[in-house]
């Protein structure tokens, strides 16, 4: 039984999708005016783990993540796409294409699964215009010259997602248009200024869509008028997601628009939000030059998705150490599995495997608690490592498969690359073991010990047992 913390109800709720066994999920994508940073990675890695675990549990997930390439206004009233275009001295759509492709490459490099659908806002203008017309006809929208605003007084549930107080509404409005019925009303469609590069013909004149209406239309077009999960960063709760609820439910008359709202916590550096003006802006591309993608993923998953996560070298070093644990464990099991060591099956290890899988599922089922899930993985590694000498190749194969399945439910070790193949390792090490054995027979213990020490320096431990030499990877 999976439980999700629903931002709307502010409580843990049992997950029951509209259609049993099937999940529709929409996550707000990037505004492609600049390169993606670790804050983006935090959100999309977290939701990637959610999707993978749902599939691990047998659900079929239909996942959409949009690309905003038009209509995203900053708090200052500037359009983010125009800002990017002015910086590069290119047309906004050139900028959109450039950074959209870079974003896709960054997500691929992080091992984040591509969504089933990746709609662009600029490709859904006819549907957006039609929706705005309907909202006007239904009395939720009103026209001022070439702009259209949503009348929040007509939607009684407005503010329930964010729990925002009426007096705080104006603090988040970027459009101070004094002609609006209520200063807190938000834009569905904006009139284009002269020479503005985004402009489409509508019944109200030439203009461009408001940011919020874009996600409503794209999610409903591809996932239906009521979806199971809608996600994004906490900074989107208000006004973006609040406005999505209002316009979507007003448009269709169906409640709820979203059954479970999920939001990720902020990624900070030294306790401050990541921002270029602070000098703490770390791009995904730069981070991947220093750390493998699995290390970045382990860092992100080390905190619960709803909590703040602070980036530091110490935290990354810990993630790198944990990654070594995963790789070493995999390689040790692979050596045993592929060398054909005959051993009777140990029932206690079967029981340990069952307990591990159950503990992992329980952790992830409690609002996708990745820190607790990783703790079960590390505990499993620790306990199995103490029993490596009694594991035969058949049981090692089973343990390795279980280990990979659970890791990949978190998106880890997706394309694991053996540092060297087990066959190559075993061929080389067995040769040295035979040489060492012969040296010991001849009483040449110094040379025999030197071989053992040289292997140890390379992370290959050679242990003498009653049954012969045992090889273990500890790199």
Peptide bond into 256 cis (omega under 30): yes
Residue in this structure with the two tokens 């990541």, named with its chain if needed = 274
Tokens of 92: 């906004």
> Distance (Å, rounded) from C-alpha 303 to C-alpha 369?
8
C-beta separation of 135 from 321 below 8 A: no
C-beta separation of 466 from 390 below 8 A: no
Measured at the CA of 22, the angle between CA 265 and CA 2, to 5 degrees, comes to 50
C-beta separation of 350 from 405 below 8 A: no
Tokens of 236: 């989107």
Q: Report the DSSP pairing between strands 141-144 and 147-150.
A: antiparallel
Q: How many CA atoms lie within 13 A of 236 on its CB side?
A: 23
Tokens of 10: 């502010």
Q: Is 407 annotated as a binding residue?
A: no
Per DSSP, which regions of 309-398 are E strands? 309-311
C-beta separation of 169 from 243 below 8 A: no
Helical segments of 37-141, H only? 38-56, 80-88, 92-109, 125-137
Q: Is 276 annotated as a binding residue?
A: yes
Tokens of 2: 């999976």
Known binding residues for ATP: 276
Known binding residues: 28, 215, 240, 244, 276
Known binding residues for Zn(2+): 28, 215, 240, 244
């Amino acid at each position: 039984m999976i439980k999700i913390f629903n931002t709307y109800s502010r409580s843990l709720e049992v997950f029951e999708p509209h259609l049993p066994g099937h999940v529709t999920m929409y996550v707000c994508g990037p505004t492609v005016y600049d390169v993606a940073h670790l804050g983006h990675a935090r959100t999309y890695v977290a939701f990637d783990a959610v999707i993978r675990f749902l599939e691990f549990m047998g659900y079929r997930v239909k996942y959409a993540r949009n690309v905003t390439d038009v209509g995203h206004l900053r708090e200052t009233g500037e359009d983010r796409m125009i800002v990017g275009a002015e910086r590069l001295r290119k047309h906004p759509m050139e900028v959109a294409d450039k950074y959209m492709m870079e974003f896709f490459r960054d997500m691929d490099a992080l091992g984040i699964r591509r969504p089933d659908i990746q709609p662009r806002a600029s490709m859904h203008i006819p549907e957006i215009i039609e929706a705005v017309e309907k909202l006007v006809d239904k009395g939720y929208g009103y026209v001022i010259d070439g702009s259209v605003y949503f009348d929040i007084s007509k939607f009684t549930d407005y503010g329930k997602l964010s729990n925002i107080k009426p007096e705080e509404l104006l603090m988040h409005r970027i459009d101070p248009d004094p002609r609006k019925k209520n200063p807190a009303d938000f834009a569905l469609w904006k009139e284009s200024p002269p020479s503005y590069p985004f402009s489409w013909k509508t019944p109200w004149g030439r203009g461009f869509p408001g940011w919020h209406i874009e996600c409503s239309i794209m999610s409903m077009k591809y996932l239906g008028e009521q979806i199971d999960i809608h996600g994004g960063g906490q900074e989107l709760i208000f006004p973006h997601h609040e406005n999505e609820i209002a316009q979507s439910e007003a448009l269709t008359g169906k409640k709820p628009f979203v059954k479970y709202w999920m939001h990720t916590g902020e990624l900070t550096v030294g306790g401050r939000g990541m921002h270029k003006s602070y000098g703490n802006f770390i791009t995904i591309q730069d981070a991947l030059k220093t750390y493998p993608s699995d290390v970045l993923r382990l860092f992100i998953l080390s905190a619960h998705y709803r909590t703040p996560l602070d980036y530091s070298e110490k935290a990354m070093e810990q993630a790198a150490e944990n990654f070594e644990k995963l790789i070493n464990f995999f390689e040790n099991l692979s050596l045993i599995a592929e060398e054909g060591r005959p051993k009777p099956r140990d029932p206690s290890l079967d029981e340990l495997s069952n307990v591990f899988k159950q503990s992992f599922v329980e952790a992830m089922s409690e609002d996708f608690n990745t820190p607790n899930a990783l703790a079960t993985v590390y505990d499993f590694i620790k306990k199995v490592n103490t029993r490596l000498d009694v594991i035969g190749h058949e049981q090692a194969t089973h343990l390795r498969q279980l280990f990979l399945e659970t890791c990949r439910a978190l998106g880890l070790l997706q394309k694991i690359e053996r540092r060297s193949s087990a066959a190559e390792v075993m061929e080389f090490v067995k040769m040295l073991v035979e040489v060492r054995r012969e040296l010991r027979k001849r009483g040449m213990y110094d040379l025999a010990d030197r071989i053992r020490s040289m292997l140890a320096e390379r992370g290959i431990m050679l242990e003498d047992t009653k049954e012969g030499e045992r090889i273990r990877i500890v790199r």
